[in-house]
């Protein structure tokens, strides 16, 4: 997953660690894998590597304050997106977030 790409929600299911086996080491030893997306119809699953840094905090993310969001919604109730913002924009504040979150089954 590319952190520089447009933000979107991606579901990774059944993250499981590939355990080391006796004998020769394997390149997959102690790596975690999961299935990306949903399966419906004839779609195939995509196996992805679960990186250990997915729960790390992001860099600084500049977001508008609640007052700026209220103004944007008052100007256009059907606004689909606001931003992006940077430190030079008035009415913004910095947030740090995790790029991943665990959702219990």
pTM of the model: 0.50
Taking residues 66-93, what's their average pLDDT? 87
Buried b (16+ CB within 10 A) or exposed e, 63-81: bbeeebeeeeeeeeeeeee
Q: What is the pLDDT of residue 90?
A: 87
Q: Is the pLDDT of residue 70 over 70?
A: yes
Gap between the Cα atoms of 64 and 92, Å rounded: 4
Q: What is the pLDDT of residue 74?
A: 92
Place of tokens 């910095």: 94
How much of the chain exceeds pLDDT 70, in percent?
90
* Structure confidence by residue, pLDDT tens digits, 29-58: 888 888 887 666 777 778 888 887 888 877
């Amino acid at each position: 997953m590319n952190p520089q790409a447009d933000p979107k929600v991606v579901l990774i299911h059944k993250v499981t660690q590939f355990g080391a086996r006796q004998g020769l080491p394997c390149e997959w030893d102690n790596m975690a894998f999961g299935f990306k997306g949903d399966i419906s119809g004839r779609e195939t699953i995509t196996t992805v590597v679960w990186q250990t840094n997915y729960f790390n905090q992001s860099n600084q993310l500049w977001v508008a304050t609640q007052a700026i969001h209220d103004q944007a919604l008052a100007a256009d109730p059907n606004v689909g997106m606001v931003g992006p913002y940077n430190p030079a924009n008035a009415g913004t504040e910095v947030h740090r977030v995790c790029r991943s979150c665990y959702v219990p089954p």
